[in-house]
């Protein structure tokens, strides 16, 4: 973390026309899990301005290496080796340092390692599909993994999820808490997916698609995809409380 005073202002209002609404009937499960009454909107209080910040002491050496963190000694998972990297920023373009980023995904065949998963594609004995990291002072993060495969799901008769990696991000205040999914450049399934299409604005969807990044690719080893994540911006405390001398 940089040696600067922590920021204490409230966060910019969330753009609810940009974010997916709760009720999106083409994604069937949302029908009974979406509130029908309007949300109660108000400017952030102490409760949402603050939030947990995690220390590096929670991290193990292989936490951001999904190629090795579940593999048996001397073995490796099967699939396309990739590096996923990028920055966690806020809406002002400032890097969010010290942010915990968690990620999870299916294996190369689209199979998740989960008790309730029933897809017939094989489990990979050397792939768990979970990792985490903490951004550096500029908000940068990276992890190594296997590119996940598309995955069929019980929604409409023939729905397939595009290849995707789930992300969970903590910023500096609980108001920034976010879970999202990263998609891969050029995947034709993106534009058919009812979960992707819960997002009303095409520009917001494009922001979830990671481009192939040949400059970060490691020759003869792994390709790279770049994925930046933007959290809510933070107002100056000037507008909140002049006593703090901003």
Partner 1 sequence: MVQSLGYLKETASQTAGPYVHIGCTPNFCGIEGVFPTDLGSGPLYNDKTKGERIKVRGFVYDGTGTALKDAMVEIWQADADGFYNSPSETRGKADPNFFGWGRQPGDMATGEFCFDTIKPGRVPFRDSDPRPMAPHILFWIVARGINIGLQTRMYFSDEETANAEDPILSRIEHQVRVPTLIGKRQGDTYRFDIHLQGPDETIFFDI
User: Which of the residues are catalytic?
Assistant: 112, 151, 161, 164, 166
**Binders of partner 1 among 52-91, rule CB under 8 A?**
52-54, 58, 60, 62-63, 69-70, 89-91
DSSP code for 208: T
Closest CA to 227 of 167, 176, 172: 167
**Binders of partner 1 among 198-227, rule CB under 8 A?**
198-199, 201, 203-205, 207-208
b/e code 116-146 from CB counts within 10 Å (16+ = b)? eeeeebeebebbebebbbbbbeebebbbbbb
Between CA 33 and CA 14 the distance in angstroms is: 21
**Binders of partner 1 among 96-135, rule CB under 8 A?**
102-104, 112-117, 128-132
Does residue 236 touch partner 1 according to CB under 8 A?
Answer: no
**Binders of partner 1 among 4-23, rule CB under 8 A?**
6-8, 10, 14-16, 18-22
Find the binder of partner 1 among 75, 138, 185, 244 (CB under 8 A).
Answer: 244
Does residue 178 touch partner 1 according to CB under 8 A?
Answer: yes
Length of the chain in terms of residues written: 246
What is the nearest approach in angstroms of partner 1 to the Cβ of residue 162? 11
Does residue 197 touch partner 1 according to CB under 8 A?
Answer: no
Token digits of residue 65: 């290496």
Find the binder of partner 1 among 140, 192, 230, 246 (CB under 8 A).
Answer: 230
Between CA 187 and CA 206 the distance in angstroms is: 12
Binding span for partner 1 by CB under 8 A among 135-143, 184-192, 197-205, 214-222:
197-205
Does residue 241 touch partner 1 according to CB under 8 A?
Answer: yes
What is the nearest approach in angstroms of partner 1 to the Cβ of residue 83? 19
DSSP 68-137: TSSPPTT----S-EEEEEEEEEETTS-B-TT-EEEEE---TTS----TT---SSPPPTT---EEEEE--T
């Amino acid at each position: 973390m940089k040696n600067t005073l922590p920021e204490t202002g409230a966060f910019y209002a969330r753009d609810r026309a940009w974010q997916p609404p709760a009720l999106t009937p083409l994604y069937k499960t949302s029908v009974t899990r979406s509130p029908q009454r309007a949300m109660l909107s108000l400017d952030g209080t102490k409760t949402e301005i603050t939030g947990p910040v995690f220390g590096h002491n929670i991290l193990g050496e292989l936490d951001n290496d999904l190629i090795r963190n579940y593999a048996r000694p001397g073995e490796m998972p099967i699939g396309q080796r990739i590096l996923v990297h990028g920055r966690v920023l806020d809406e002002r373009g400032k890097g969010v340092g010290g942010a915990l980023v968690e990620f999870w995904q299916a294996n190369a065949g689209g199979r998740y390692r989960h008790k309730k998963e029933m897809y017939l594609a094989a489990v990979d004995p050397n792939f768990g599909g979970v990792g985490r990291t903490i951004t550096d002072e500029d908000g940068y993060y990276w992890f190594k993994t296997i590119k996940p495969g598309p995955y069929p799901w019980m929604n409409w008769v023939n729905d397939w999820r595009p290849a995707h990696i789930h992300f969970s991000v903590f910023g500096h205040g609980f108001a920034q808490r976010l879970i999202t999914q990263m998609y891969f450049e050029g995947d034709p399934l993106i534009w058919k997916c009812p979960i992707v299409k819960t997002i009303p604005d095409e520009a917001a969807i494009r922001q979830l698609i990671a481009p192939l990044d040949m400059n970060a690719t490691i020759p003869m080893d792994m390709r790279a995809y770049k994925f930046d994540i933007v959290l809510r911006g933070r107002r100056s405390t000037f507008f909140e409380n002049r006593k703090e001398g901003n």
